[in-house]
């Protein structure tokens, strides 16, 4: 059965729940719920619904059994459950969070679901039941409950907290309490740690999910868009959200260059210089990273272009080693915009001086493009000169081009010319800026900074790959799959070079990939 969004079919009720939740979740969170594959009515008494198979995914309970989880990771997981609880309440599927074996972890240990369980007895599903689930998790592990969490569980059992926001605030208070007193022993007196629920009580479940084939809520209407009310009656879009600061979770990178199918030499150069520091303590794992990623596409004849790109890369490498990597206070900040601009001008001057000393003129003057990325944890600085590009891909926002080519067509478009006329010019793709051919007064690099607030893939590339919109045309096959932590970036670089040789091949090809995964930094919460 076709289940595409435009399909005019009547889906079984359970399939409608999957479809509604898929449209409700943002793109970054959509993978938390298995995708709907097919659904049909076998007969009037039986519905068949086929979903993504997650039988080989790691279970949350296995993580608790095998590791002594730090308190920050526990609270982060509880935060995730609360966020998902609010989403599932809208489609009447909170029971999905109350089935211990239904809680899974993706490759980055983010909470996901194996399947959806519609609520059989909605009135019985309260935060008290969620607290009971948290007790079950502690029961499955060898961990003792810290005093503040034990008090929280007691309040949940007594139904002193009935609102999600109230519970979220308590979790943040508990985290702040521990971080404000790093030497504080939060373990309560052993006698006070008697289980709130007996094993029999934990096994009793008055919120049993209903049979899928009996599920027929009046809220679902196959002929019209489904509107799901929140528990407060407010539209979902108006529900309050908590914006958490982010911290780096992982950083992977790879790069390679190829002369292409038609060139007998390679005028491209690139550099990857990354420093990683991993720290693990009672609050969890922290990664600090400092990375310098440079790509240069040289021009100016067989020897000239190759020399220009190498001089550009090496000059910038030495500059940032001195002005960033080696500075004692550089672990906490990126270089300033002025510092980055000065480094680029020094690279330009180094190549310009060679042109002058060798009396190179006209098209014989060597030069190079530049695209440069600096990463300090979740902080990123970007600079570029010429037409080498930087792309960024995220599951939420898709593919974006973060640089704008410095060529005649783009210059004329900025002046108000229609794009069709600008690109029709015979000199449309002639560079208006490059490092080396002219004095520093004529070099105006674009520089800007931003923060990573979601998992992202950065792609630095020369025009051997970017020509003919090759990246844009193959996002689904060659870019999006690389977001997975299981994807090998070296293989991804090789595949992109093969793609460029197959469809372009007329120029040198250089590709640098940087994959950054981020997670909420609960320690950075401000109240």
Does residue 212 lie in a domain region? no
How many domains does the chain contain in total?
2
Residues 320 and 417 in one domain: yes
Q: Is the pLDDT of residue 147 over 90?
A: no
Please tell me the predicted confidence (pLDDT) of residue 67. Answer: 60
Residue scoring higher pLDDT (80 or 309): 309
In sequence order, which residues have a C-beta less than 8 Å from that of residue 338 and are 6 or more positions away? none
250 and 171 in a common domain: no
pLDDT at 116 over 80: yes
Arithmetic mean of pLDDT, 228-257: 61
User: How does DSSP assign 137-176, residue by residue?
Assistant: HHHHSSPPPBHHHHHHHHHHHTT----HHHHHHHHHHHHH
Whether residues 162 and 293 fall in one domain: no
With CA atoms as reference, report the closest residue to 195 among 284, 135, 269, 263: 135
Whether 433 and 516 map to the same domain: the answer is yes
127-136, 325-334, 413-422, 444-453: which has the minimum mean pLDDT?
A: 325-334
- Give residue for tokens 């719920």: 33
Q: Which helix (H) or strand (E) segment is 17 a member of?
A: helix 13-24
Domain stops at, among 178, 204, 230: 178
Q: Are residues 267 and 154 in the same domain?
A: no
pLDDT above 60 for 215: no
Residues 146 and 269 in one domain: no
Which pLDDT band, with edges at 50, 70 and 90, does 244 fall under?
A: low
Per 3-state DSSP, the chain is made up of helix, strand and coil in percentages (nearest 5) of: 40, 25, 35
Predicted pLDDT of residue 342: 98
Tell me which H or E stretch contains 344: helix 337-357
- Looking at the predicted structure, is the pLDDT value of residue 189 above 60? no
pTM of the shown model: 0.68
281 & 370 share domain: yes
Q: Is 237 a residue whose pLDDT tops 80?
A: no
- Is there a domain that residue 64 lies in? yes
**Whole-number pLDDT of residue 186:** 38
pLDDT at 526: 46
Distance, CA of 352 to CA of 436 (rounded, Å): 4
Strand, coil or helix: what is 259? coil
For position 274, which CATH number holds?
3.60.40.10
pLDDT band at 49 (very low <50, low <70, confident <90, very high): confident
How far is it, in rounded angstroms, from Cα 106 to Cα 59? 9
- Given a cut of 70, is residue 213 above it in pLDDT? no
Q: Taking residues 520-525, report their average pLDDT.
A: 61
Q: Is the confidence at residue 378, as pLDDT, over 60?
A: yes
Residue 236 has pLDDT above 50, yes or no: no
The answer to the question of residue 527 being in a domain is: no
Residue 168 sits in the same domain as residue 256: no
Please determine, for residue 224, whether its predicted confidence score (pLDDT) is greater than 70.
no
**Domain assignment of residue 264, given as a range:** 246-520
For the cut 60, the answer to whether the pLDDT of residue 8 exceeds it is: no
- Let me know if residue 99 belongs to a domain: yes
Range from 19-28, 270-279, 349-358 carrying the lowest mean pLDDT: 19-28
Both 255 and 157 in one domain: the answer is: no
Q: Of the candidates 178, 202, 237, which is a domain's last residue?
A: 178
The domain boundary, picked from 178, 208, 238, lies at 178
| Under 8 Å between Cβ of 507 and 463 | yes
* pLDDT higher than threshold 70 for residue 271: yes
Q: Is 210 among the domain residues?
A: no
CATH of the domain at 93: 1.10.510.10
Using CA atoms, how far apart are residues 397 and 440, in angstroms rounded to an integer? 36
Query: Is residue 222 assigned to a domain?
Result: no
The helix or strand, by DSSP H or E, that contains position 309, with its residue range, turns out to be: helix 302-320
Residues 461, 380: one domain?
A: yes
Mean of pLDDT values over 137-154: 75
For residues 503 and 364, state if they share a domain: yes
What's the whole-number average pLDDT of the chain? 82
Could you tell me the two tokens for 282?
């009672």
Residue 231 lies in a domain: no
In this predicted structure, what is the pLDDT of residue 235?
Answer: 35
Does the residue 24 lie in any domain? yes
Q: Does residue 295 surpass a pLDDT of 90?
A: yes
């Amino acid at each position: 059965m076709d289940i595409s969004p435009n399909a005019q079919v009547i889906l079984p009720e359970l399939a409608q729940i999957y479809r509604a939740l898929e449209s409700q979740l943002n793109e970054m969170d959509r993978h938390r719920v298995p995708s709907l594959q097919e659904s049909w009515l076998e007969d009037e008494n039986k519905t068949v619904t086929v979903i993504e198979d997650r039988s080989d995914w790691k279970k949350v309970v296995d993580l608790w059994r095998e590791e002594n989880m730090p308190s920050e990771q526990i609270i982060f997981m509880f935060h995730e459950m609360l966020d998902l609880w609010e989403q599932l309440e809208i489609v009447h599927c909170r029971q999905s969070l109350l089935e211990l074996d239904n809680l899974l972890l993706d490759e980055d240990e983010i909470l996901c679901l194996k399947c959806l369980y519609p609520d059989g007895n909605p009135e019985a599903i309260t935060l008290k039941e969620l607290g009971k689930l948290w007790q079950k998790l502690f029961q499955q592990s060898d961990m003792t409950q810290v005093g503040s969490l034990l008090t929280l569980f007691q309040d949940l059992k007594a139904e002193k907290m009935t609102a999600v926001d109230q519970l979220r605030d308590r979790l943040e208070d508990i985290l702040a309490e521990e971080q404000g007193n790093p030497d504080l022993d939060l373990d309560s007196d052993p006698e006070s740690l008697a289980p709130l629920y007996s094993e029999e009580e934990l096994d009793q479940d008055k919120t049993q999910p209903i049979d899928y084939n009996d599920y027929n809520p009046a809220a679902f209407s196959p002929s019209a868009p489904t509107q799901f009310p929140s528990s407060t009656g407010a539209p979902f879009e108006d529900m309050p959200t908590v914006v958490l600061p982010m911290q780096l979770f992982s950083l992977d990178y790879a790069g390679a260059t190829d002369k292409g199918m038609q060139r007998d030499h390679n005028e491209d150069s690139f550099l990857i210089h990354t420093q990683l520091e991993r720290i693990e303590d009672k609050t969890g794992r922290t990664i600090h990273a400092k990375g310098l990623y440079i790509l240069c596409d040289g021009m100016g004849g067989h020897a000239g272009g190759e020399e220009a790109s190498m001089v550009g890369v090496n000059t910038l490498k030495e500059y940032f080693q001195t002005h960033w990597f080696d500075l004692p206070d550089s672990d906490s900040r990126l270089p300033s915009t002025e510092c980055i601009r000065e480094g680029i001008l020094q690279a330009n001057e180094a190549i310009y001086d060679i042109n002058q000393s060798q009396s190179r003129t006209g098209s014989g003057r060597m030069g190079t493009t530049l695209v440069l990325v600096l990463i300090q944890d979740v902080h990123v600085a970007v600079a570029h000169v010429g037409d080498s590009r930087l792309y960024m891909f995220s599951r939420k926002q898709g593919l974006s081009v973060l640089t704008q080519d410095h060529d005649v067509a783009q210059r004329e478009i900025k002046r108000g010319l229609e794009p069709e006329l600008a690109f029709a010019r015979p000199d449309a793709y002639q560079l208006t800026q490059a490092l080396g051919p002219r004095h520093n007064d004529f070099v105006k690099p674009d520089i800007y900074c931003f923060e990573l607030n979601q998992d992202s893939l950065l792609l630095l590339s020369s025009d051997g790959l970017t020509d003919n919109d090759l990246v844009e045309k193959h996002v689904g096959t060659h870019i999006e799959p690389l977001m997975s932590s299981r994807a090998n970036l070296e293989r991804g670089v090789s595949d992109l070079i093969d793609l460029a040789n197959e469809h372009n091949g007329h120029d040198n090809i250089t590709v640098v990939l940087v994959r950054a995964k981020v997670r909420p930094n609960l320690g950075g919460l401000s109240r």
